[in-house]
Amino acid sequence: MSHRRLHAPVPRHALQAPRLRRLVVALLGGGCTALSCAAARAASPVTGNAVQQLQTVTIQGVAYGAQAVRLPSTISVLGRRDLTEGEQQVNLSETLNQVPGLIVNNRQDYAQDMQLSIRGFGADSPFGVQGVQMTLDGIPLTMPDGQSQSQTIDLPMIGAMKIIKGPFAALYGNAAGGVIQAYTEPAPQPAALRLGTWLGAWNTRQTTLIGGGSSGSVDGIAGITDFRTDGWRQHSAATRRQFNTVLHWNAGDDNRYSLVFNALNQDAQDPGGLTLSEYQSNPRQANGLMLQYDTRKSVRNRQTGLSWQHRFDAADTLQLSVYGGTRRITQYLPFSGSYPSSAGGVVSLADTFGGTRATWSHRGELAARPYTLAAGLDYARENEFRKGYVNNDGVQGDVRNDQFNTVDNIAEFVQAHWDLTPTVALSGGVRHDTVNFGSTPGVGAPPASGTGGGVHYASTDPVVGVLWRIDAANRVYADYGLGFVTPTMYQLAYRPDKLPGLNFALQPMHLHNSEIGWRGAFGTLHAQAALYRVTTDNQIIGNTSFGRTTYSNDGGTRRYGVELSLDAQLPAHLSTRLSLNAMHIRFDGGPNNGSSMPGVPERQLYAALTWRPPLPSAALRGFYTRVSLLARSRVYVDAANSAAAAGWGVLDWAAGVRQTHGAWKLSEFVRVDNIADRTYVAAVVVGDSQGRYYEAAPGRNASVGVQLDRSF
């Protein structure tokens, strides 16, 4: 079969909530900042969905729709229905593409994680997530170097996700391209147990068991998830096993504790990308080198976090959070790594990481108007024991690299929100980060390990914004701020001059970030729009150097964009959701001056239509059916724009139903992805040194699932 045109990355997913409700999520996990707390207080009560404020300054809540958040920033909130209804609940690509400005690609390669970017930040990441801060129940998933692993988020247990874009993302630290906060669903009331499973093509299936409840002042929820697939592509089988639990307890009226623990075991073959000719001849194949060297990756991740919150009085609250964990990664690459200057074709990482946050929050009045002030300290550290070995056709050989690498980040921050008038509010803050990298060769390390050394980065980043409440349903806002993104340990790992040691000449990117936006409602239509401009210096890009990808600074970038989202309740029990973003990202200076940012489609459209009739039959109660479209423009594969994957549009369909019998509830769903059976590229491997840029997407495929709930 031949394919004359390439089609860019596509994750699949379906649309969510048929009706845009004024969503308020009371999320009581670790770390409340002044921004999130101010958002909770500013959310006006709504009938039937009012914020439950146990302690006002500790609730992280966001409302949207007519009761939009008063924080002057672009924020999107997805509730549990948005994240789970009719979805497989495996990959963030299923649902996050409905957020304008957020691009998530399912690479059909579980060894490399999702390819995720916000307004272009993180688009060229070869694996994992870069340039974007991620948290789970208030505990960081982002290491102090700015690298995150999205697989740690166990989607069947997630109750809400919040996405923060624009200048205020800088107040969360390094990797200031955006923020994604995930929260485990609250413990069920009354106690309940949920068992769910689904089956799909290529022997793909997932089973989840979740239970929780409360007793007195203690409540908790825990769950295990088992995912397995033989993979659509050759050499792409994977297994993933996860455990996640969250426990809350109150010690009187003024003290609240939260304990979070999650574990991930994942083993995945790595099919890698394909050259153009390979893709055109057979998009399901893997390159011969991937088979010869048995490319694969195993991950073992454990993380625990504890948060204590103490209210001194009605105005002052202290919150302390500590977390720590371990991560073990073994990855087999598609080459031997046996030559003298090589660091090996097998990478073995043994990491320990941890950190702490202390935040003091105060509420008061200034000029007879209420304000909130918060100040705090963050500290995070990662110790990485990195070894490299020869890859003897899939068997670990002699040691070629032995390093002990460290990175730590200490930050001080102040944030404030002040209701200047009944209709105008000011928000702002400043954060100072210091990030230190160090490397020491191991005892008896081969020459490829280098001589060690270190580098120090620091940045002070202020942010300010104003929000004007025009009326009860419409708000406009404007904000401006600075931010920075340091190189990750992976980007520092290899020098472009072929000499051993880390690439300490690499500099961080500094951001100048501004946006204006509007949130409003007209009857049953709810909308949000934003215009933004971001400039960066020291843009980090990948290069081919002696057959290995290395990184350098290439001038800067200019980023302009517009984002629009609409939700509407239509006649005949129909509802619709539409999101559109257009991004113009160009290199400014350097050898690629004027070229487009690779890995980023300039336009993305998401549209969905849901029908949810009020059927009288008990057997069909809760029925819904939904069709959704995801469309993108072309995507360049490298900074020189030497080739591109063409744009595409893909239709998905899902339907489900629910039956309730006393304490029992049974739910079923069926979905079909890529209804038109399009052939297209799911993602591009940006700047691949061997020209293997293209990662293909599956054709038409179906899955069916069932879930059984029991309340006690």
Domains, the chain, ranges and CATH? 34-294+305-394+407-711 (2.40.170.20)
CB atoms within 10 A of CB 226: 15
DSSP state, 352? Answer: E
Task: Return the percentage of the chain with pLDDT > 90, whole number.
Answer: 76
The amino acid at residue 504 is: F
Q: Which residue has the tokens 């009560």?
A: 45
pLDDT the model gives residue 25: 29
CB atoms within 10 A of CB 3: 16
Query: Between β-strands 556-570 and 574-588, what pairing exists: parallel, antiparallel or unpaired?
Result: antiparallel
pLDDT, tens digit, for every residue of 191-239? 999 999 999 999 999 999 999 999 999 999 999 999 999 999 999 999 9
Q: Which residue has the tokens 């630290």?
A: 173
- What number of residues does the chain have? 712
Pairwise CA distance, residues 670 & 657, whole Å: 9
Cross-strand pairs, 436: 408, 456
Q: Give me the mean pLDDT over the 691-699 stretch.
A: 95
> Which structure tokens are listed for 241?
């096993």
Banded pLDDT at 58 (limits 50, 70, 90): very low
Q: Quick check: helix, strand or coil at residue 156? A: helix
Pairwise CA distance, residues 428 & 34, whole Å: 10
Query: With b meaning 16 or more CB within 10 Å and e meaning fewer, what string describes 521-548?
Result: beeeebbbbbbbebebbbbbbbbebeeb
pLDDT, tens digit, for every residue of 571-597? 999 999 999 999 999 999 989 999 999
pLDDT the model gives residue 43: 33
Pairwise CA distance, residues 46 & 43, whole Å: 9
Q: What are phi and psi of 69, to 5 degrees?
A: -60, 140
Banded pLDDT at 544 (limits 50, 70, 90): low
Query: Is the pLDDT confidence value at 107 over 80?
Result: yes
Instruction: Tell me the residue ranges of DSSP E strands in 29-171.
Output: 74-79, 102-105, 115-118, 129-130, 133-136, 139-140, 147-148, 158-165
Pairwise CA distance, residues 656 & 669, whole Å: 4
The amino acid at residue 583 is: M
Task: Return the percentage of the chain with pLDDT > 70, whole number.
Answer: 88
pLDDT the model gives residue 548: 66
User: If DSSP states are collapsed to H, E and C, what string results for 495-548?
Assistant: CCCCCCCCCCCCCCEEEEEEEEEEEEEECCEEEEEEEEEEEECCCEEEEEECCE
Banded pLDDT at 379 (limits 50, 70, 90): very high
pLDDT the model gives residue 265: 98
Query: Is the pLDDT confidence value at 114 over 60?
Result: yes
> Which structure tokens are listed for 630?
């995801």
Query: Is the pLDDT confidence value at 564 over 50?
Result: yes
pTM of the entire predicted model: 0.88
Banded pLDDT at 494 (limits 50, 70, 90): confident
Query: With b meaning 16 or more CB within 10 Å and e meaning fewer, what string describes 77-102?
Result: bbbbebbbbbbbbbbbbbbbbbbbbb
* Higher per-residue pLDDT: 207 or 551: 207
Q: Residue 108: which of 238, 217, 265 has the closest Cα?
A: 238
Q: Give me the mean pLDDT over the 455-479 stretch.
A: 95
